[in-house]
Structure 1
Amino acid sequence: MSTPRTVLVIGGGAAGNAVAVLLRRAGVAVDLIEAEDDWNATAGSGITLQGNALRVLRELGVWDRVRESGFAFGSVGITAPDGTVLHEQRDIRTGGGDLPATVGMRRPRLQRVLIDAVRASGATVRLGTRAESLEQDSDGVSVRFSDGTGGRYDLVVAADGLGSATRAAIGITDKPEPTGMAIWRVAVPRPAGVVRTDLAYGGPAYIAGYCPTSDTTLYAYVVEANRDRACLPPASYADEMRRLARAYGGFWPEITAHITDPAEVNYTWFDRMLVEGSWHRGRVVLVGDAAHCCPPTLAQGAALSLEDAWVLAQMLSGAGPWDDALLQAYYERRIARVRPVVEASVQIGQWQLDGVRDADVPGLMARTMTMLRELP
């Protein structure tokens, strides 16, 4: 019996968890390390999962749990700041006709579903652990961990997010750059009438929106120009978000009444990054936010990360060598799909920053989402 190939996955977010599950299914021996002791099990408010993300989650075998845990819907409402509905747009089913167009979900709940899938896969998991050094040769990668132990792997998958230490360690100098926007997010009880995402443009913020995440919850968000975070002490977060949200009507007064605990409010700048040329150096390869990120104007961040994991696992599951040609082919397959999404996501935000009133936002969104209906 031949010895199974071995992979180290660095990072236990959506991309890392997904690639671990898929590689284990293919018979690869997988170690997953995550820097956080709690495996990020409580972080975040909500997430919007469009059909192409759901397609990968179904491939992972967790779609039934996602469907039970989230809130499915098929349209987005465009409203005036006072809550008047101006237009309802049907969402494109990017995952195919047998999946909902969109599912809103509590981010910690999605993480728990993926954690359980990794545990069930038989992958070895080490929490509170970092890769301190990577030494490569033509046959593999020797890794020294933060607890003083070491390991030897045929391949290392870097899924350690936007600020990826692994990306820098292998000599890729790309870093995320701010786009000029920032977002306030909070999870609150769902008003009974909220059955889809609604987006209000104008008012004191660029966008005020919300997404139902279960029968009883939703997450709300307000997008504004980014501010100096040093001038925003965390204790002020609820007050700041509530001040912006008060200007909006419709369901917003009910939502705003629950924005009281600053610990429940998250403030984040929008960033962009797209690593060009290749996503690997030797036998270390990037997936997800370690390779690309974009503003959530198209809600495609998690979907693209999950697709990366799916495509890479497919390519690694064959009998051929894990060599430079294979990893370059992975990049070329993904960059053609990721680049237009990153560029469109940034463009939509830039139009708002520049005050362009006749921008073809619906057209750009429709063209991009139609492309995503194709298999990655």
Structure 2
Amino acid sequence: MTAVQKVAIAGSGVAGLAAAIQLAKAGVEVDVFESKAELSALGSGITLQGNALRVFDALGVWDDVREAGYFFEGLTLRAPGPDAPVVAELPEVKTGGPDFPATGGMYRPDLARILLRHAEAAGATVRFGSKVTGVSQTDGGVSLDVDGGPAGTYDLLIGADGLNSVVRDLIGIETKPQPTGMGIWRAFVSRPASVERSELYYGGPVYIAGYTPTGEDTMYAFLVEPSRERVEITDEQAVDIMLEESAAYGGPWEDIRADLRDGAHVNYTWFTQHLVPAPWNRGRAVVIGDAAHSCPPTIAQGAAQALEDALVLTELLVERDVVDDSLWDEFHGRRLPRAQAVVEASVQLGQWQIDHDREADAAGLIFGISHRMAEPA
């Protein structure tokens, strides 16, 4: 018998849909409430480390993810300049273990569609255009208001509704994401045959320029700069900024700029950091994923950590008979130190870039965190 029979999930991102898949597979009645009118994800790419792939396998979606994405070993470091000289070819720690590639990339909307399809196939109900607007609790349940009206009573509410989580606010958690001082331009472009894995350029006019393959003929390119107000920027201006800021980088960036001129879509976001201290739950409501923690993607662990949150939580809910303090103690014991290590390391790597600290041991920090992530959550 599971600890819950009926669960509400706010948010249809990777954490919410991963939790929906696992609970529905176990026979739990699952309602997912998504405030947006339809499934959406920023139309660029996402980097997935091996420990994320290990979770996909546990969810039963790895075969679909592998077919839709592009997976590889290692990392290439280049320097600015017309020839984009290779500085180093680095091996990567296989954080998912020997059965999975070290890392990979895929188109974000493709990942969202795969997870939604599996959640619905498992029996979860996903309601778009449905915003959680109220939460009230008793010892044995959570009553929800959705779009201002009653939506039912559940054994548990999982707030997986992202950085600006409504559930986090409704249950009285005051921790909120804070900007780190960095912003990122992303564009979804074609992949030159020469690009077979992620490549990063350090130095030049931005903190980091790079790209990650997402498919046989696609990849996403990015430029990390000091964060600026970019709200009023038009699509044409966004492209012009990426063209200007990438001008110092040669090699495959020549192909990227050609795609930008041809109308590749560009988006811009700020990096944030936050970590909700334990407990992440208030009674029978809990936040996971970006609602509970965020960090710069300097070690590309954001999606993996959100997926691990969902996997650990649902494992406990399926294995236990009751939702009690011991369940929450084990959940926080397994998740908080790991998420904290990723947040702190990611923020530190970004700060070293901001400070132009040439003595920093970035490689050592990344290597250490990668080995820690290689241990299952």
TM-score range, shorter chain: over 0.9
Partners in 2 of 1:68 and 1:3 — Cα distance? 35
Matched, 1:64 2:63: yes
TM value normalised by structure 2? 0.96
Percent same amino acid among aligned pairs? Answer: 49
Q: Residue deviations 1:244-293, cap 9 Å, x none?
A: 11210111111111113778101011000000121000100011000000
| Alpha-carbon spacing, 1:296–1:141, altered in 2? closer, same or farther (3 Å) | same
Instruction: Give the Cα–Cα distance (whole angstroms) in 1 for the partners of residues 3 and 211 of structure 2.
Output: 50
Hey, what's the Cα distance between the residues in 2 that align with 1:282 and 1:160?
18
Partners of 2:214 and 2:357 in 1: CA distance? 32
Would you say 1:232 and 2:233 are equivalent positions? yes
CA distance in 1, matches of 2:53, 2:151: 36
1:184-203 paired onto structure 2 within 5 Å: 184-203=185-204
**Worse-matched range after superposition: 257-266 or 358-367:** 257-266
Equivalent in the alignment of 1:105: 106
Deviation at 1:89, TM superposition (A): 0.4
Conserved 8 A contact 2:160-2:288? yes
Per the alignment, do residues 165 and 75 of structure 1 end up closer, same or farther by CA in structure 2, a change over 3 Å counting? Answer: same
1:29 alignment counterpart = 29
Please list the CA deviations of residues 189-217 of structure 1 after superposition, one character each: whole Å capped at 9, or x if unmatched. Answer: 11111001110001100100000000010
Question: Per-residue CA shift, 1:147-170, capped at 9, x if unaligned?
Answer: 634211000000000000110111
Counterpart in the other structure of 1:274: 275
Pairing 1:170-319 to 2, within 5 Å after superposition:
170-230=171-231, 232-260=233-261, 264-319=265-320
Pair 1:19 & 2:19 matched: yes
Counterpart residue number, 2:370: 369
Deviation at 1:325, TM superposition (A): 3.3
CA shift for structure 1 position 28: 1.2
Q: Take 1:221 and 1:238, find their aligned partners in 2: how far apart are those partners?
A: 12
Deviates more, 1:230-239 or 1:216-225: 230-239
- Offset at residue 319 of structure 1 (A): 3.4
Would you say how many aligned residue pairs link Structure 1 and Structure 2? 375
Q: Distance in 2 between matches of 1:24 and 1:318?
A: 14
Structure 2 CA distance for aligned equivalents of residues 231 and 124 of structure 1: 37
- Determine helix, strand or coil for the equivalent of 1:132: strand
Q: Is the 8 A contact 1:279 1:328 kept in 2?
A: no
1:70-102 CA-to-partner distances (Å, cap 9, x unmatched) read 111101101001210010001110001011001
Structure 1: runs of 5+ lacking an equivalent: none
Question: 2: CA distance between counterparts of 1:230 and 1:160?
Answer: 22
> What is the SS of the residue equivalent to 1:43?
coil
Residues 3 and 207 from structure 1, CA distance in 2 versus in 1: closer, same or farther, beyond 3 angstroms?
closer
Q: Distance in 1 between matches of 2:186 and 2:4?
A: 43
Q: Describe the shift of the 1:306–1:242 C-alpha distance in structure 2 as closer, same or farther (beyond 3 A).
A: same
Q: Deviations over 1:317-374 (max 9, x none)?
A: 1232112332232122101111111100000010010110011000000000000000
Give the CA deviation at 1:230.
Answer: 4.3
One-letter code of the match for 1:133?
A: G
Q: Which amino acid counterpart does residue 340 of structure 2 have in structure 1?
A: R
Look up the match of 2:6.
Answer: 6
Aligned to 2:51: 52
Partner amino acid, structure 1, of 2:375:
E
CA distance 1:333–1:353, change in 2 (3 Å): same
One-letter amino acid matched to 2:253: W
Cα contact 1:238–1:261 (8 A) shared by 2: no
**Corresponding residue for 1:77?**
76
For 1:311-330, list aligned pairs within 5 A.
311-330=312-331
Q: How far 1:233 sits from its partner (Å)?
A: 4.2
CA distance in 2, matches of 1:282, 1:192: 52
Q: Contact conserved, 1:196 with 1:211, CA < 8 A, in 2? A: yes
Note closer, same or farther for the CA distance 1:230–1:11 as it changes in structure 2 (3 Å cut). Answer: closer
Between the aligned partners of 1:324 and 1:2, the Cα distance in structure 2 is 16
Match of 2:137 in 1: 136
CA contact (8 A) 2:4 2:322 kept: no
RMSD across aligned positions (CA): 1.6
